[in-house]
Chain A
Amino acid sequence: DTAVSQTPKYLVTQMGNDKSIKCEQNLGHDTMYWYKQDSKKFLKIMFSYNNKELIINETVPNRFSPKSPDKAHLNLHINSLELGDSAVYFCASSQVGGSDTQYFGPGTRLTVL
């Protein structure tokens, strides 16, 4: 029944490592997003994908790369992790671009040591 799921829920890793976070939605939505929520709880959009095309790409480091193998998945790859990457990352999906309600996943708490 889970609409938007993310794995893993927690991720602890060392600086310099490469890691991935997976996201899947079973709502049949055509747009998926990645958000970063920092320690001050401020949500900031990182990427969105619509029909396998990147339509929003905020000023995030190119160490972050979204990959969408199909419409139901949008994975986030992070290379050369830095301390400042520690945050909670949320995946979300919606039906029509940014004008429809977004459904969020449970979040992945990333801690970089």
Chain B
Amino acid sequence: KNQVEQSPQSLIILEGKNCTLQCNYTVSPFSNLRWYKQDTGRGPVSLTIMTFSENTKSNGRYTATLDADTKQSSLHITASQLSDSASYICVVTLGGSQGNLIFGKGTKLSVKP
């Protein structure tokens, strides 16, 4: 069964600290993996996208990694800011013509001053 599991479900950190969010998937065939950030009351916004051959991708203070062998991805946030408080959603695209997306349930991050 195609699934995307994220951990932790929620996380609270202090401003300025680093954190890492995890994503494990059992999607096959695999096309790509995305991390989205969803602020409260807003639609998701793409942070990174990685294909099978990419191990890491950065977007400012956000760095995503992908291990296609173990089917794991992580999103590392450096020097967190209050504005990083949001839900982070891992999404895996199925290979094939339709390209169905499999969504994780997200990790809710709260950055406190």
Binding site for B on A (CB under 8 A): 4, 40-45, 55-56, 90, 92, 97-99, 101-107
Contacts and interface: CB of A to CB of B under 8 A. Distances in A.
B34 A45 contact: no
A107 B43 contact: yes
Contacts of A55: 98
Contact of B41 (A44, A103, A107): A107
Contacts of B32: 99
A97 B41 CA distance: 26
A43 B87 CA distance: 12
Contact of B98 (A56, A106, A107): A56
B100 interface: yes
Contacts of A98: 31, 93-94, 98-101
B105 A97 contact: no
Interface of B: 31-32, 34, 41-46, 49, 87, 89, 93-94, 97-101, 103, 105-106, 108
Nearest to A96: B99
Contacts of A90: 43-44
A42 B105 contact: yes
Contacts of A4: 43
Contacts of A42: 103, 105-106
Given A42-B103, A90-B44, A101-B34, 16 more contacts: A41-B108, A42-B105, A43-B103, A44-B103, A45-B103, A97-B98, A98-B94, A98-B99, A98-B100, A99-B93, A102-B101, A104-B44, A104-B45, A106-B41, A107-B41, A107-B43
Contacts of B42: 106-107
